[in-house]
Amino acid sequence: MQELQNKLGKTLRPFNALGPVATIFGAVNTGAWRYERPVVDAARCLRCGVCGRYCPVDAITVQKSGDPCVDIMWEFCKGCGICANECPQKCIIMEEEGNENG
Ligand code: SF4
Ligand code: SF4
């Protein structure tokens, strides 16, 4: 093992990082690990765009007209709930994944 580490140490270039290695959160496909998803009460939505501005992965598009008022890219939404917390109308609730219709 020590021999392998010594060998790798000579072949790998040094990596300079100031802290934990980060990833671009928004670029990661969520896959199946989200356990809650935001559900918008369209009747109360003002289309103000606040939810979209706060979404850390830029998964929300608020449409000025038409349906849905708030369009969410489910493949990138992480279910963090920030949109629900920031909505001034409190018209976004977080529902358990897979339980959207009941
Ligand atoms: S923050 Fe709330 S009211 Fe504003 S667009 Fe989003 S869901 Fe609608
Ligand atoms: S739950 Fe989080 S990731 Fe998903 S749309 Fe809301 S703010 Fe964006």
66 SS3 class: coil
In-domain check, residue 101: no
- CA of residue 52 to ligand 2 center, whole Å: 8
pLDDT in tens, 3-44: 766 665 565 555 555 666 666 666 678 888 899 999 999 999
- CA dist 90 and 36 (Å) reads 17
- 30, 74 Cβ separation under 8 angstroms: yes
In-domain check, residue 77: yes
% of the chain at pLDDT higher than 90 = 63
pTM: 0.76
What is the per-residue pLDDT for 3? 72
% of the chain at pLDDT higher than 70 = 71
How many domains are contained in the chain? 1
What is the per-residue pLDDT for 102? 44
Range of the domain at 45: 2-96
Query: CB within 8 A of 63, min separation 6: which ones?
Result: 47, 69, 70, 71
Is the confidence at residue 65, as pLDDT, over 80? yes
* Eight-class DSSP state of 40: E
- CA of residue 23 to ligand 1 center, whole Å: 28
- Ligand 2 atom closest to the CA of 80, numbered from 1: 2
Report the CATH number that the domain containing residue 35 is assigned in CATH: 3.30.70.20
